[in-house]
Amino acid sequence: MSETSYDLIVIGGGPGGYVAAIRAAQLGMSVACVEKEATLGGTCLNVGCIPSKALLRSSELFAEAAHGFADHGIKADVSLDLKTLMGRKDKIVGDLTAGIAYLFKKNKVTHISGAGRITAPGSVVVAGAKAEQTLTAGRILIATGSQVTPLAGVEIDETRIVSSTGALALKKVPKRLVVVGAGFIGLELGSVWRRLGAKVTVVEFLDRITPPLDLEIAKTLQRTLKKQGMTFKLGAKVTAAKATKTKVTLDVEPVKGGDVEKLDCDVVLVSVGRRPYTDGLGLDEIGVTRDPQGFITVDSSFATNVDGIYAIGDVIRGPMLAHKAEEDGVACTEIMAGQAGHVDYDLVPGVIYTSPQGAGVGQTEEALKESGVAYNKGKFAFSANGYARCLGETDGFVKILADAKSDRVLGVHILGPDAGTLIHEAVTAMAFGGSAEDIARICHAHPTLAEAVKEAALDVGGRVIHA
């Protein structure tokens, strides 16, 4: 085999692609991973999940020191050094992307730098900094992820009108930030800049925030964010943006129709969703089919309609989340190796890193109502949890939805401290087909936040203790 021929070429080095490449190598395949950006890790590591969480953590500490210490009897003089805060974020990103390069070396995955284009089944041309090179392989896996959905009339310049990428690297705290789209990106990055001092207004098309979350969780989250100082304009859309030297003026229209409101601000964050990214891959030329939204269509083994070409992650159906892409990557390569890979899309948890955090898995209450499934509901508020009180983080609750007949857990939704960690007890229970009774009978350490999950499970059976 020549050095440009592989068992598998993965196009895209994000969480889907790099995990697939490593797993394929573990399974004995010779693997090349083609990535067009300078570092591995994709959107998630470079300009997504990781830098946003670094900024969320720093801004939480800043807000806590500025407003939360007094309660504890701690006096502090607090000021912000944004350059150091951003530097910390950049170092975390740098360390983690270098970590993937190390994992590639360890697993003998060849990292090829440049943009890959599929010229025929089994053949990829890579346009890198140097000359083009042709790679061949038995199989090709597309893991090129997603890109920001543009908003008509609002042109992103990444300084005044920004996507998440620009919002992660603002040079100063804007006085007024308008967030367009009350989804995960908008509310997380809106929270960062609000905590650092911006006045944040969120404009959302729907009459609710965070569409994938359970409605009761979303409504409570919105109330809490409002209490923290965020302003919401629901049922409204931004139709135009005009940037001058000193400000950006937005046209905001009620969705139902009515007068256009002019909204002035210093920075606008456009966060109205993401769409599959397949530009320049040559899919039309080789006839890979996509659905009307641009998602590559695949079968249960992640195979496209063209022999030897596979796709995973944000470019195919399912939630556009890093952890879902990773699961796709593992399942897809295991199937290639003759094993039984499978991803249960009903059990992909979602987490929003606001304060408090929101997390959910399985069916929402609205979905159960709509499908006419009879269910019992258990709820427990963090204000009744001893450890939450000690932390001073009592906003939110745990809600468990269980089948009325079998008691099998169908959905769990949490708003509260560390909800992103707590949800995994529910994911585990559900993956094993567990019932609310199972969770209720498991001994949970005291005092912990996890006791709120147990109490909600007890409440499903009408025997909650601490409420």
Residues forming contacts to ligand NAI in the complex (CB under 6 A) are: 151, 180-186, 188, 203-206, 211, 237-238, 271-274, 320-321, 351-353
Report which residue's Cβ sits closest to ligand NAI: 183
Name the residue nearer to ligand NAI (CB basis): 56 or 126: 56
Name the residue nearer to ligand NAI (CB basis): 113 or 239: 239
Name the residue nearer to ligand NAI (CB basis): 184 or 232: 184
CB of 250 to ligand NAI, least distance (A): 10
Cis peptide before 447 (omega within 30 of 0): yes
Name the residue nearer to ligand NAI (CB basis): 237 or 399: 237
72 is catalytic: no
Is 396:384 a contact under the CB 8 Å cutoff?
no
Q: What whole-number distance in Å separates Cα of residue 432 and Cα of residue 262?
A: 53
CB of 63 to ligand NAI, least distance (A): 19
Residue 45 tokens, joined = 């590591």
Name the residue nearer to ligand NAI (CB basis): 348 or 404: 348
Between β-strands 261-265 and 267-270, what pairing exists: parallel, antiparallel or unpaired? unpaired
What is the distance of C-alpha 127 from the center of its chain? 30
Candidates 67, 342, 446, 466; catalytic one: 446
Residue 296 tokens, joined = 């590559």
Is 142:12 a contact under the CB 8 Å cutoff?
yes
Residue 371 tokens, joined = 């499908």
Q: Which residues sit opposite 234 in a β-bridge?
A: 204
Question: 419: part of which helix (H) or strand (E)?
Answer: helix 419-431
CB of 77 to ligand NAI, least distance (A): 33
> Nearest CA to 233 among 262, 207, 269?
207
CB of 142 to ligand NAI, least distance (A): 18
CB of 305 to ligand NAI, least distance (A): 25
- For residue 332, report the phi and psi dihedrals to the nearest 5 degrees: -60, -45
Name the residue nearer to ligand NAI (CB basis): 111 or 208: 208
Residues 6+ apart with CB under 8 A from 32: 6, 8, 9, 10, 21, 109, 110, 111, 112, 135, 137
CB of 348 to ligand NAI, least distance (A): 10
Q: Which residues are catalytic?
A: 446
